């Protein structure tokens, strides 16, 4: 119900990449990434170089492609996938021993998670990655308890689908392996491997299926500049890892229900001196890292407490859930780490929190969960409004700045990406690149400033015909460098949403000289 009003939200951010892959699947079903595309580097590259992995995603968007790339079709697909993930969360919670009420609470926390709601407003792979991961884990638990071969097959299938959707979910094999152990003492671990590999069959088969699928669907004609070469031109090194690490930790407090409810429910279990020490450490780090040190340190303390408590009580389930939280850790080496990469771990966070209910104060439980769900929904709706606002400005710019010039018979190029690129190409404009062919004198170039195209930073042979700010009455922004809001990329900021209205994007119209 929350998502239905957003069915017609324009495509945005990385949506065009996956929609183009779906278009490719209609003509070459076995090679979804065997085509050229101009994207964030402003170079004409093979899609396989820009999007290594994730080959299952375009097949999920085939219905959208067959329905003429209608926005409602793509978003309805995401809603259906999200419903499956919510159901899978409840089912996994029941398999782990929670009662029906607790499983329902875990499902609600997952459904209302702001990061989940925000990504459900796109057609990107993160909702299906969460679905396949939780279904795979649920089948792993059933395979452990019942040992029927079809359960091992389904566990392998779902976990393979997860890795073919978001590659970093391959790390899910680690918590799956822990679920399959007899326990976490050295003796129990040794006894578990006496039945290797039959007990761990899904763990063995999933990487084999993953690599086989990638080989069978590999781009037969790779070419152009390798994506690793282009990434060297982006910020990197220790600073990037620190920034991404802070983002990974902060997301657990800002947009995923883990840090705040865990602290509220465990406040009596750990002496307050630990919280005081954490506050002092965060205060010291804030001098270098800024305000993000506080949510980062708080989440680090919570992750440490989950691990310590699991080891102390020899709780195999809690240890597996803790490792499940860490699926996005390898992404710290990537150019960014927005909350979308944590979505496959959201069900684990919800189940961990709900498992604390029996030992928690009834009064705390009575007020905390309704308040937490309400706060989640409010922030999720604000993010969805920000997503729609950003997407609408880019689609509107195409209608007002590109189509009129094309109608007058002029050759129009564009510099920019995200949803702007999808609608600009649909209108007949061509993407500019930093290599020939280049725009010629008299051509028109429309530049989107929000997504910082590299071409526009170097091109000087131009006359600026117009500067057009796009404003709206929205209550906030989700991608605003000045406000520090970067829901889709922590390179814009750590906040998932920032209050404010007015200018959402700015476009320039150039005439090439």
pTM: 0.92
231 CB-near residues (< 8 Å, 6+ apart) = 335
Output the 3-class SS for 461-475.
CEEEEEEEEEEECCC
Do residues 375 and 114 touch, judged by C-beta distance below 8 A?
no
The DSSP result for 76-138, as a single string, is HHHHHHHHHHHHHHHHHHHHTT--HHHHHHHHHHHHH-HHHHHHTTS-STHHHHHHHHHHHHH
Residue recorded with tokens 């057009």: 468
Query: What is the secondary structure of 338-385 as a DSSP string?
Result: -GGGGGGGHHHHHHHHHTTGGGS-HHHHHHHHHHHHHHHHHHHHHHHH
Structure tokens at 251: 């997301």
DSSP string over 214-273: HHHT--SS--SS-HHHHHTTS--SHHHHHHHHHHHHHHHHHTSSSHHHHHHHHTTTS-HH
Reduced to 3 states, what is the DSSP secondary structure of residue 197? coil
On whether the CB atoms of residues 447 and 413 are closer than 8 A, the answer is no
Q: How far is CA 392 from CA 105, 476, 502, in A?
A: 34, 14, 14
How many helices and strands, by DSSP H and E, does the chain display? 23, 11
Beta bridge partners of 505: 470
Q: What is the C-alpha separation between 61 and 75, in angstroms, rounded?
A: 10
Contact 181, 316 (CB under 8 A): yes
What residues contact residue 382 under an 8 Å CB cut-off, 6+ apart?
Answer: 475, 476, 497
- Cβ atoms of 400 and 511 within 8 Å: the answer is no
Phi and psi torsions of 141, nearest 5°: -65, -40
Give the other-Cβ count within 10 Å of 332's Cβ: 17
- Domain positions in the chain: 4-383, 395-512
CB count in 10 Å sphere of residue 478? 30
Distance from C-alpha of 99 to C-alpha of 389, rounded to nearest angstrom: 41
> How much of the chain is in helix, strand and coil states, percent to nearest 5?
60, 10, 30
**Could you count the other beta carbons within 10 Å of the beta carbon of residue 231?**
13
CB contact at 8 A, 114 and 380: yes
What is the token pair recorded at 220?
């037969």
Count of CA atoms in the C-beta half-sphere (13 A) of 397: 36
Angle in degrees, CA 120, 331, 287, rounded to 5:
100
Report residues of the chain scoring pLDDT below 50: 224-234
Q: How far apart are CA 342 and CA 131, in angstroms?
A: 13
Per DSSP, the three-state class of 323 is helix
């Amino acid at each position: 119900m929350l998502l239905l009003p957003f069915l017609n939200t324009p495509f945005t951010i990385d949506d065009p990449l996956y929609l183009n892959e779906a278009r490719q699947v209609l003509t070459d079903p076995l090679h979804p990434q065997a085509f050229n595309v101009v994207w964030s580097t402003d170079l004409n590259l093979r899609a396989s170089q820009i999007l290594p992995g994730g080959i299952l995603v375009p097949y999920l968007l085939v219905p959208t492609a067959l329905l003429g790339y209608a926005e409602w079709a793509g978003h309805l697909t995401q809603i259906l996938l999200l419903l499956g993930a919510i159901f899978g969360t409840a089912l996994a919670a029941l398999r782990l021993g929670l009662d029906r009420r607790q499983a329902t609470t875990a499902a609600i926390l997952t459904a209302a998670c702001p990061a989940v709601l925000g990504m459900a407003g796109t057609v990107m792979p993160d909702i299906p990655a969460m679905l396949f991961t939780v279904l795979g884990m649920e089948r792993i638990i059933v395979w452990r308890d019942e040992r029927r071969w079809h359960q091992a097959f389904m566990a392998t299938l779902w976990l393979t689908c997860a890795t073919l959707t978001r590659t970093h979910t391959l790390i899910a094999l680690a918590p799956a392996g822990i679920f399959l152990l007899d326990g976490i003492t050295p003796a129990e671990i040794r006894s578990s491997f006496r039945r290797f590999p039959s007990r761990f069959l899904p763990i063995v088969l999933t990487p084999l299926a993953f690599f086989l699928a990638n080989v069978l669907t590999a781009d037969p004609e790779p070419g152009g500049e390798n994506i690793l070469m282009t990434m060297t031109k982006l910020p990197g090194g220790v600073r990037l890892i620190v920034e991404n690490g802070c983002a990974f930790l902060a997301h657990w407090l800002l947009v995923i229900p883990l840090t705040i409810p865990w602290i509220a429910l465990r406040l009596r279990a750990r002496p307050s001196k630990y919280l005081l020490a954490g506050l002092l450490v965060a205060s010291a780090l804030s001098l270098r890292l800024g305000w993000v040190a506080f949510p980062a340190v708080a989440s680090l303390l919570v992750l440490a407490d989950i691990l310590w408590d699991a080891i102390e009580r020899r709780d195999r389930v809690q240890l597996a859930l803790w490792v499940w939280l860490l699926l996005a850790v390898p992404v710290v080496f990537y150019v960014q780490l927005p909350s979308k990469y944590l979505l496959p771990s959201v069900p684990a966070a919800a189940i961990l929190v709900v498992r604390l209910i029996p030992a928690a104060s009834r009064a705390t439980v009575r007020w905390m969960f309704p308040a937490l769900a309400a706060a989640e929904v409010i922030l999720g709706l604000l993010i969805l409004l920000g997503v729609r606002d950003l997407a609408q400005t880019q689609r509107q710019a195409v209608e007002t700045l590109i189509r009129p010039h094309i109608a007058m018979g002029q050759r129009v190029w564009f510099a920019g990406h995200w949803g702007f690129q999808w609608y600009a190409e649909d209108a007949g404009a061509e993407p500019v690149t930093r290599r020939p062919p280049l725009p010629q004198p008299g051509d028109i170039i429309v530049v989107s400033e929000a997504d910082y195209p590299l071409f526009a930073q170097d091109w000087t042979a131009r006359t600026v015909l117009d500067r057009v700010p796009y404003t709206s009455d929205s209550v906030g922004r989700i991608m605003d460098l000045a406000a520090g809001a970067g829901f889709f990329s922590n390179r814009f900021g750590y906040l998932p949403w920032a209050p404010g209205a007015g200018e959402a994007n700015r476009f320039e119209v150039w005439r090439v000289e």
